[in-house]
Amino acid sequence: MALLAATGGAAAVGLLAVGDDIKHGFEATARTARVASALLICINDYRTTLSQRENVQDAEESNRLLKACHKRCADRTLKVLEKSGGIFIKLGQHLSAMNYLLPSEWTVTFIPLQDKCPVSSIESIETMFRADTGKELSEYFSDFSREPIGAASLAQVHLATIKETGQRVAVKVQHPSLQQWAPLDLSLTKFTFSTVKRFFPEYDLEWLSAEIEVSLPLELNFECEAENALRCKAHFARIPELPLVIPDIIWSKRRILVMACEAGHRLDDLNYMDSNGIDRDEVSATLARIFNEMIFGDGAPLHCDPHGGNIAIRKRDNRRSGRRDFNFDIILYDHGLYRDIPSDLRRSYAKMWLAIIDGDVERMKKYVTEVSGIGEDKFPLFASAITGRDWSIVSSSITKPREDSEQKTMSTALQEGLIVDLVQMLGQVPRIILLILKTNDLTRSLDESLHTKQGPARQFLILARYCMRTVFHENLEEIRKQGSLVWPPNALRLLTAWLSLVRVELKLEAFELWLGIKRMCGYQNTLDLSTVAT
C-alpha cells in the first residue's frame, strides 16, 4: 500500500506541475508514470533482495545478490532517463561520475549517458529563436547548419555565419522542450529522492535534489553563462602561460548563446593527440594547472562541470609560454555551472590537501573539520571521497599509482555498508564542497582517460604548489597585520613562509626537468613524493 501511495503521490506532483495546460496533460501523466513505476519496481527489488540476504550465510553469495540487484535497477533507471531526456540525462551524467558514492553497477551503467543526448529539430529551434529574438534565423545568419555539431543534455550547438560581419560562429541553443518540462522534472526528481529516503531512511539523497534545484535554473540561463565565460576569460588573460582558450561571446539571450567558433577534438581522442605529437602528460599537467588555478586562484571562478564533452584539444604551432613549449590549446566550453569559493574555505582546503599529501593524519583531522564540518570519526571517509583513494593509501602516501586492487577494495567497502555512512556524511557538508567533489571526480576521470605514463606524482606537485601559494598569501596577510614587513620578527616570519613556498616550487621545477630527461631516455616515472610539501 505504501508503494501504491508513493506512485499516486508522484502522479499528483506531475499534474500540479503542469497546471491547467490540458494539451500536455497526457504526456505529463505518461512521463510521471514512467518515473514512478521504475521507482516502485526498484524499491521493491531492493527490499526483496535485502530480505533474501538476511537468510544467506555465504558472504560471497550475499554480495552477488546485492550486485545483481544494483545492476537490474541501474538498467531500469537508465531506460527511464534516456526516454525522459533533458534534466534526467543531466542527472544521470552527474551520477555516473559519483564513483565515490554509488556502486560501480550504477556508475558504469550510466556512462553511455555522456554521449546519448537528445537532438531538437531545426523547426523547434527556429520557433524558439523567433519567440526569443523577434527575428528569423535567416535575418541574422547567412547560413545556419540544420544538423547540430554537438548535443548535450540541456542544449545543442549549430555552426552559423553572421550575415552582417561574415564571422563564423557557434550557436548554442537550449532544447525548447526544457522550458515546458523543467518544473515537472524537478518535482519528480525531488519526489524520487524523498521517496527513497522514506523507504530507506539511511539513504538520504535529498541534498542532491536540493543542489539540482539551485544549480539547474542557473544552467538554463545562458545570459548567466555568458557572464561566467567573460569573467573566466578575463581571469586567465592574466595567466598567458596557460594555453587555455575560452570562446569569445558575441551575444546572448536566456536560451540562445552566440560565440566565436573554436573547434577541437575530445580529450579521449588519443589517436589525434598521438598522431599530432601532442604529449598526453603535458596535457594532463596543463589541466591540473587550469583547475587548480580555478580552485585556489584569488578571485578565480570555478567551472563545476568539466566533463569530456565540455573540454577539447587542438594542435597549434609551437609557442613558448614562460619556460614551457606548448603545441596545443585546451578549449573550455559550457560555462553554465560556476561557483566562487570563499577565501577562508579556499585556505583551509589548501591546508587540508597539504596535510593529505604529507600523510599527516592530525593535520588532516583539523582541516577536514574546517572544510566540511565533519568530525574526527568521519574524516577518513571524507578524505577518501575527496581524493577518490582508499584510506590506507591516503594515510600513507597518496602519490602512489592507483592499482586495480585498490578500486576493488573500495567497491567491496561500498557493498559492505560504507555507502550508508558516506551518503549521510555528504548530507552534512556545505553545498560548495559537493560541487568541489564533483569537479574533482570529473577532472580525475579526464586525467585517467589520457592514460598518461608518469603516474600521479606530477599532479600532486602542481597541486602542492597552488596550495603553498595560497598559504603563503595568507601568511603574508597575517604578517602585514603585525606591522611593517621589514620589522625583524616580521621579516623572519616572511622569510620562513617564502622558503616553504620556494621549496615546493623548486621541487616541481626539478621534477619537471627530470621528467624531460626521462622522456628522452624512454623511462616512466615511479617517484613517490611522501614529503612533497614538508
Active site residues: 305
The region, left, alpha or beta by phi > 0 then psi within -120 to 50, assigned to residue 441 is alpha
Q: Do 504 and 533 form a contact (C-beta atoms < 8 A)?
A: yes
What sections of 237-279 are H helices per DSSP? 270-275
DSSP letters for 506-534: HHHHHHHHHHHHHHHHT-------TTTT-
What sections of 276-342 are H helices per DSSP? 280-296
3-state DSSP assignment of residue 257: strand
Radius of gyration of the chain (CA): 25
From residue 11, alpha-carbon distances to 32, 89, 194, 202, 436 in Å are 6, 21, 15, 25, 35
d(CA 205, CA 419) in angstroms, rounded, equals: 12
From residue 80, alpha-carbon distances to 75, 85, 172 in Å are 9, 8, 26
d(CA 271, CA 282) in angstroms, rounded, equals: 16
d(CA 337, CA 230) in angstroms, rounded, equals: 14
Query: C-alpha angle with apex 213: 210 to 219, nearest 5 degrees?
Result: 135
Q: Do 100 and 388 form a contact (C-beta atoms < 8 A)?
A: yes
3-state DSSP assignment of residue 501: helix
Q: Do 293 and 236 form a contact (C-beta atoms < 8 A)?
A: yes
Q: Which three cell numbers stand for residue 407?
A: 578500486
Q: Do 385 and 100 form a contact (C-beta atoms < 8 A)?
A: yes
Q: Which three cell numbers stand for residue 264?
A: 577541437
User: Comparing C-alpha atoms, which of 249, 294, 263 is closest to residue 442?
Assistant: 294
Residue whose cell numbers read 609560454:
321
d(CA 162, CA 144) in angstroms, rounded, equals: 9
User: Comparing C-alpha atoms, which of 170, 117, 119, 127 is closest to residue 147?
Assistant: 119
Amino acid at 433: I
Q: Do 369 and 330 form a contact (C-beta atoms < 8 A)?
A: no
Query: Partners of 313 in the beta sheet?
Result: 265, 330
User: Comparing C-alpha atoms, which of 520, 395, 501, 515 is closest to residue 457?
Assistant: 515
